[in-house]
């Protein structure tokens, strides 16, 4: 892993607050999503990212398929709340009819009643609705891949995350706040995402408070099949991203030669051999000096003995 800048104090403080929020039990945690908690499919990924000092996740979705009723685009009566939804939007009276963050269970027998699963009535008259209807509110079937927002401690941290996301197939990943603002340290916000797996289709409408299917049962089955295929591909990309991130923040494993020993280049090998040669030379010299000292001591003793005999 490359040498990274230390984390600014403001980042450390904000990360602590975010992690404290994530520690709240799922039953007590709420946000703007229909689920309101970290998805099971990416909990390991979230934990792994948050364990690294320079990263903290701020929001996430493992990927989902949803069926929703779009909101009103006009006010129903004079003096009523004028907040309305944009085209295709879910606000202003819109509603989630079905949400799953996992592949949709399907027996594969072609007889599942998807109309009732998605909160729609099986009405053959829906396509012949009178043209005098004041407003038709549409029902959407939508698949979205994983999206992950991560606050990073520096542009270098953000670059690591972006590289992992792009290599894993999250082609529309990007970063905000990469330019310094005043005296505050730069802490980019990175979004890991892809639009390549997403798709959306109209499947129903609400007329006079009645939600009706406007496509065939076979078409609904096709949408479910495609969504489940996209879930599989989404999972593969998440795994590639997690593996790439793990490798990027880990110290590189030492290279090994054919004998299983740690690999070294020519310069390192020469330096090692030189050091080994100097060490052996010093050991040999010390051994020779020790032998010389022993011989001298022995010679001195012999001399003392001979001198004693003479006297």
Q: Is residue 258 part of a domain?
A: no
Distance CA 204, CA 66 (A): 13
Q: Does residue 311 fall inside a structural domain? A: yes
User: Same structural domain for residues 300 and 220?
Assistant: no
Q: What is the 8-class DSSP label of residue 143?
A: E
Residues 155 and 285 occupy one common structural domain: no
Same-domain check for residues 222 and 272: no
Q: Smallest Cα–Cα separation from 117: which of 85, 141, 90, 91? A: 141
67-79 residue pLDDT tens: 999 988 766 555 5
The reply to whether 49 and 148 lie within a common domain is yes
* Orientation angle between helical segments 217-248 and 43-50, nearest 10 degrees: 30
CA 215 to chain centroid, in Å, comes to 36
Question: What does the alpha-carbon distance between residue 167 and residue 155 come to, in Å, rounded to a whole number?
Answer: 18
In the predicted structure, residue 175 carries a pLDDT above the cut 80: yes
Dihedral in degrees, nearest 10, Cα atoms 279, 284, 287, 288: -140
Which two three-digit tokens encode residue 101? 């963050």
Range of the domain at 57: 9-75+82-248
One domain, residues 268 and 239? no
pLDDT averaged over every residue in the chain: 82
Q: What is the pLDDT of residue 31?
A: 45
Does residue 230 sit in the same domain as residue 272? Answer: no
pLDDT band of residue 309 (cuts 50, 70, 90) is low
Please tell me the distance from the alpha carbon of residue 189 to that of residue 155, in angstroms, as a whole number.
9
Q: Is the dihedral of CA 154, 53, 38, 106 positive or negative?
A: positive
Which range among 105-114, 131-140, 143-152, 180-189 has the greatest average pLDDT? Answer: 143-152
* 79 C-beta neighbours (distance < 10 Å), count: 6
Judge if 24 and 166 occupy the same domain.
yes
Tokens of 152: 């990073």
Boundary residue ending a domain (198, 224, 248): 248
**pTM value?**
0.71
Q: To 5 degrees, how large is the angle CA 198–CA 201–CA 204?
A: 145
| Whether 244 and 268 share a structural domain | no
Residue with tokens 């990274």: 4
Indicate the angle between helix axes 9-22 and 43-50, nearest 10 degrees: 150
Contact call for residues 161 and 152 (beta carbons, < 8 A): yes
First to last CA, the chain: 80
Model confidence at 183, pLDDT cuts 50, 70, 90, reads confident
Query: Is 43 within a domain?
Result: yes
pLDDT of residue 288: 84
Lowest mean pLDDT among 80-94, 163-177, 244-258: 80-94
Based on the fold, state whether residues 197 and 284 are members of the same structural domain: no
The reply to whether 4 falls in a domain is: no
- pLDDT band at residue 136 under the 50/70/90 scheme: confident
Total structural domains in the chain?
Answer: 2
Residue 210 CB contacts under 8 Å (≥ 6 apart), including other chains:
121, 123
Domain end, chosen from 222, 248, 274, is at 248
pLDDT in tens, 228-286: 999 999 999 999 999 999 999 986 655 666 666 666 667 777 777 777 788 888 888 88
Higher pLDDT pick, 78 / 290: 290
Least Cα distance to 11 among 46, 60, 58, 56 occurs for 56
Tell me how far apart the alpha carbons of residues 269 and 252 are, in angstroms, rounded to a whole number: 20
Residue 98 resides in a domain: yes
Asked, for residue 172, whether it belongs to a domain, the answer is: yes
User: Which pLDDT does position 279 carry in this prediction?
Assistant: 80
Contact 261, 12 (CB under 8 A): no
116 within domain boundaries = yes
Q: Mark whether 66 and 191 lie in a shared domain.
A: yes
Integer Cα distance of 224 and 71 in angstroms = 24
Whether 16 and 55 share a structural domain = yes
pLDDT value of residue 236: 97
Do residues 71 and 43 share a domain? yes
Tell me how far apart the alpha carbons of residues 46 and 150 are, in angstroms, rounded to a whole number.
10
For residue 115, pLDDT beyond 60: yes
Tens of pLDDT, residues 14-30: 999 999 887 766 555 44
**Of 196, 224, 248, which one is at a domain's C-terminal end?**
248
In the DSSP assignment, the letter for residue 189 is E
Is 1 a member of any domain?
A: no
Look up the CATH number of the domain holding residue 176: 3.30.1960.10
Taking Cα atoms as reference points, which of 211, 215, 217, 216 lies closest to residue 136?
A: 211
- State the Cα–Cα distance between residues 66 and 161, nearest whole angstrom: 28
């Amino acid at each position: 892993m490359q040498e990274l800048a230390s984390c600014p104090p403001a980042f450390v403080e904000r990360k602590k607050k975010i992690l404290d929020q994530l520690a709240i039990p799922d039953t007590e945690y709420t946000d703007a999503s229909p689920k309101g908690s970290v998805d099971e499919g990416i909990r390991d990924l979230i934990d792994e990212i948050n364990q690294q000092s320079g990263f903290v996740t701020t929001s996430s979705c493992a990927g989902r398929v949803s069926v929703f009723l779009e909101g009103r685009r006009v006010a129903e009566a004079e003096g009523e709340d004028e907040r309305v939804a944009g085209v295709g939007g879910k606000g202003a009276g819109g509603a989630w009819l079905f949400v799953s963050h996992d592949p949709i269970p399907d027996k594969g027998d072609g007889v599942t009643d998807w109309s009732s699963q998605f909160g729609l009535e099986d009405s053959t008259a829906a396509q012949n609705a009178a043209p005098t209807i004041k407003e038709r509110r549409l029902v959407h079937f939508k698949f979205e891949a994983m999206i992950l927002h991560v606050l990073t401690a520096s542009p270098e941290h953000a670059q690591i995350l972006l590289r992992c996301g792009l290599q894993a197939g999250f082609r529309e990943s990007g970063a905000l706040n990469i330019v310094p603002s005043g005296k505050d340290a730069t802490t980019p916000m990175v979004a890991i995402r892809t639009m390549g797996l997403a798709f959306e289709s109209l499947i129903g409408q609400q007329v006079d408070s009645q939600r009706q299917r406007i496509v065939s049962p076979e078409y609904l089955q096709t949408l479910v099949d495609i969504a489940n295929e996209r879930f599989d591909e989404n999972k593969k990309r998440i795994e590639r991203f997690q593996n790439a991130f793990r490798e990027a923040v880990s110290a590189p494993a030492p290279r090994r030669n054919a004998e299983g020993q740690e690999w070294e280049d020519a310069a390192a090998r020469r330096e090692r051999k030189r050091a080994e040669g100097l060490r052996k030379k010093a050991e040999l010299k010390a051994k020779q000096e020790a032998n010389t000292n022993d011989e001298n001591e022995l010679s001195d003793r012999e001399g003392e003995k001979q001198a004693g005999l003479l006297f």
